[in-house]
Amino acid sequence: MPTFESHRYQFHRLRHELSNYSLLRLRTCDGLLLSMHQSGTHWLKFMLASAMADHFDIPGPEFNHANDIIGGAKDPVIYPRIPLLRSSHTVAPLLLRNRLALHWLKLPPSILLVRDIRASLVSNYIKWQTRYAVSFSDYLRGDPSGRRYNSDIWWCFRFLNSWSTIKILCESNVYLVRYETLRDDPEQVLTEVARHLAIPLANSSITLGIERATKSAMLKRADPARPPGEINHSNDDPLSAFSASDRRFFSSRCEYYLRDSLGYDYQRWNT
C-alpha cells in the first residue's frame, strides 16, 4: 500500500477523531441510531417514527427525515413524553474507544445501521454527482482529509472501524442492522430494533410504520429546505459502476484499512 496514502489517511483520521466529541451530547438520550451515509437511515427512521407515533398517539413525522420524532443532537425535543431517540452519522472519537471510557460515557442502547460500502458510495455519488463534478473513479479514490466529499471511502473506513471497535467493547449495547436485511425483512428488523431500544411497540404499530414508509409516501414528505435525492430510485446493480481498476483499488483498500467487514465480502464482485 502506498506509504504516502497511508500516512495521509492516518493523519487526517487522528485529526478528525481527536476533536470529534459530538457523541458526548447524545449520551443522555434513550437510544441512538448510528448509521452510514446512504444506508437506509431515512427509511428506518420514518418506519420507526411512524410506528412510535401510532403507539404514543402523536402526529406522524412531518418530513421523511422524521427529525421531529427522531432528531439529531441539535434538534429540539417536540414530544417530551415519548422516548428520546437521536440519529447521527458521527464517527466515534478515538479517546472513547476503551472499556473505561465507555463505562463512564454510559452509551445508551444503540442501533448501528450499515450497508455494503460499494452500494453506499454509488448512492452517495448519484445524489451529489452535480456538486462533486468528477468521474465516479475519481470520487471512489476519495479525499482522506474529509474536505471534498460528503462521504467517501475514507469516511466509511473511519466510521466502520470506530463503531465496530465499540461494538466489540459493549456487545450487548450495540445492535447491528444491515441495510440488506432491513430491505428483505423490514418487519423483523423493526421489531428487533424496537425491542433493543426498549420501546414496547405493538405488532399493529410496526405494521402501520412499514406501510407508511413506502418510497412514494416518503417522497410526498420531502423537506423543501433539504437537497433532493434522499430517496433512491435506481434499481441498477451498484457494482456495475466499478471498472476493473476501480475494483482492484476498492478491494485492496478494504483489505488494508478495514478492520472488520461486518459480514460483507469485499473481494467478491459477482452478484
What's the confidence (pLDDT) of residue 231?
Answer: 59
Residue 192 sits in a domain whose CATH number is 3.40.50.300
The beta strand positions in the chain, using DSSP E, are: 31-35, 70-71, 85-88, 110-114, 174-178
Spatial separation of the C-alpha atoms in residues 26 and 108, rounded to whole Å: 8
Q: Does 116 map to a domain?
A: yes
Distance between start and end Cα atoms, the chain: 27
Q: Does 266 map to a domain?
A: no
Q: Does 129 map to a domain?
A: yes
**223: pLDDT confidence band, cut at 50, 70 and 90?**
confident
* SS3 of residue 112 by DSSP: strand
At 146, phi and psi to the nearest 5? 80, 15
- Report the greatest alpha carbon distance in the chain: 57
What's the confidence (pLDDT) of residue 230?
Answer: 58
Indicate the number of domains in the chain: 1
Q: What's the predicted TM-score (pTM) here?
A: 0.93
Q: Does 262 map to a domain?
A: no
Q: Does 267 map to a domain?
A: no
**224: pLDDT confidence band, cut at 50, 70 and 90?**
confident
What are 122's three cell numbers? 454509488
Residue 234: name the closest of 122, 121, 115, 117 by CA.
Answer: 122
Q: Does 112 map to a domain?
A: yes
Q: Does 13 map to a domain?
A: yes
Q: Does 265 map to a domain?
A: no
Range of the domain at 240: 3-257
